[in-house]
Amino acid sequence: MSTTQNVPLEASGRDGIPAAPSPVRREHLLDLVSAAYARGGTGPLERDGIDIELYELADKAACSLLRDRWNDTFPVVAYVELLTVTAALRAVLGFDPTPTAREVIDWSENLA
């Protein structure tokens, strides 16, 4: 169970109208990613290494998806979700995009 406090997503001004969100520094986001890896026991990561780590994660997941997608005993949905989350995180952090599971499967089918 996490002890992290939930932060409200929306701040309101005096008149009750939602205030514009404050800009988040990219360095802060990289530090959050590094801390998540540390909590998982595989970090912390250096800021410069996060791009490579996420790219390698997407590459491994894509290869595993292609290898196991016809295997009924393995939950392929895990690869789908992993690729989607990795693509989203890389986009938020401003790294080059990596493919989602749908894009990996489409690519594979186009090769055949």
**pLDDT in tens for each of the 112 residues of the chain?**
455 555 554 555 667 776 666 677 889 999 999 999 898 888 889 999 999 999 999 999 999 999 888 887 767 888 888 999 999 999 999 999 899 999 999 999 999 7
Output the pLDDT for position 79: 87
SS3 81: helix
Q: Give the length of the chain.
A: 112
DSSP string, 29-71: HHHHHHHHHHHTTS-PPPHHHHHHHHHHHHHHHHHHHHHHTT-
Output the pLDDT for position 30: 92
pTM of the model: 0.71
